[in-house]
């Protein structure tokens, strides 16, 4: 009798284990991808090392628009003219849920070219920033394309309630020093939330603008977050901030940077 009861209890426990539903913010990943930005930046740097002209896509705010993200990936993969890489300006998710990250990364992993991702304010919800860190890496990072330095910054200050340095001026200063000691002759700065919006720490926006303009030949800035196409001289100093639409509007920005200039077009899919 004891053996029968023990067997029944074991069966119940074993079966129950397979039915465990983890908390949506548990952070346990079921996909293998890790440290995506560092892996993809290495691919980008190797592929563009000798190039004097680069073409890249700027998009963002894919949120819960999964069908549109699938169509975006298919559209990029079917382009005839070569594109070097894709930059996602953040807000991969709507609620910062682990599953949202997994679903979106699973879709974007089908891109035939490398991509890098920035942290968006929705990606911070719950423990989303920890999941982002595991999947993508540091919140502030940079990489090189030929002689162009891309500096990618976390600017989601409100999500951290000013408890952490956002934007991180120590990181920016170190990047400026590094740029001065290498053969980077041009710079592009990317962020999720631009100065002036509700997510940015606008107490330091003038200070932020002063610092980023110390980068060698800063060509322009990129932002997402506002869900609309933008091209604005925010500080009336000639530095243009270009904002992309959310993916639901079915378009992205395609930039071409040549040795002497740059241009962009809005591509619909």
pLDDT at 27: 64
pLDDT per position as a tens digit, 34-90:
999 999 999 999 999 999 999 999 999 999 999 999 999 999 999 999 999 999 999
Domain definitions of the chain by residue range: 24-268
pLDDT per position as a tens digit, 187-218:
999 999 999 999 999 999 999 999 999 999 99
CATH of 24-268, one of 3.30.1360.180, 3.40.50.920, 3.30.70.980, 3.60.21.10: 3.60.21.10
Average pLDDT over residues 154-183: 90
Q: Mean pLDDT of all residues in the chain?
A: 91
Residue for token pair 């069908």: 67
pLDDT per position as a tens digit, 2-44:
334 444 434 334 444 445 556 667 668 788 889 999 999 999 9
pTM for this one? 0.90
């Amino acid at each position: 009798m004891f053996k029968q009861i023990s067997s029944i209890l074991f069966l119940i426990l074993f079966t129950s284990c397979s039915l465990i539903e983890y908390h949506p913010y548990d952070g346990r990943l079921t996909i293998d991808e890790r440290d995506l930005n560092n892996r993809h930046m290495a691919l980008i740097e190797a592929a563009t090392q000798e190039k004097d002209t680069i073409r890249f896509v700027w998009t963002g705010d894919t949120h819960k628009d999964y069908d549109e993200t699938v169509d975006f990936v298919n559209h990029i993969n079917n382009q005839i003219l070569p594109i070097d890489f894709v930059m996602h300006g953040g807000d991969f998710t709507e609620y910062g849920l682990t599953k949202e990250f997994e679903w979106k990364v699973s879709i974007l992993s089908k891109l035939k070219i490398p991509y890098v991702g920035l942290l968006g304010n929705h990606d911070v919800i719950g423990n989303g920033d920890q999941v982002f860190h595991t999947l993508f890496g540091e919140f502030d990072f940079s990489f090189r394309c030929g002689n162009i330095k891309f500096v990618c910054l976390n600017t989601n200050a409100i999500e951290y309630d000013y408890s952490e340095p956002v934007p991180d001026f120590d990181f920016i200063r170190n990047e400026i020093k590094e740029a001065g000691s290498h053969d980077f002759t041009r710079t592009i700065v990317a962020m999720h939330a631009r100065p002036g919006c509700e997510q940015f720490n606008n107490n330091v926006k003038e200070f932020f603008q002063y610092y980023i303009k110390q980068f060698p030949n800063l060509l322009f800035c990129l932002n997402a977050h506002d869900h609309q196409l933008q091209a604005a001289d925010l500080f009336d100093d000639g530095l243009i901030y270009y904002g992309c639409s959310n993916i639901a509007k079915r378009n992205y920005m395609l930039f071409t940077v040549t040795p002497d200039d740059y241009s962009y077009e809005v591509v619909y899919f």
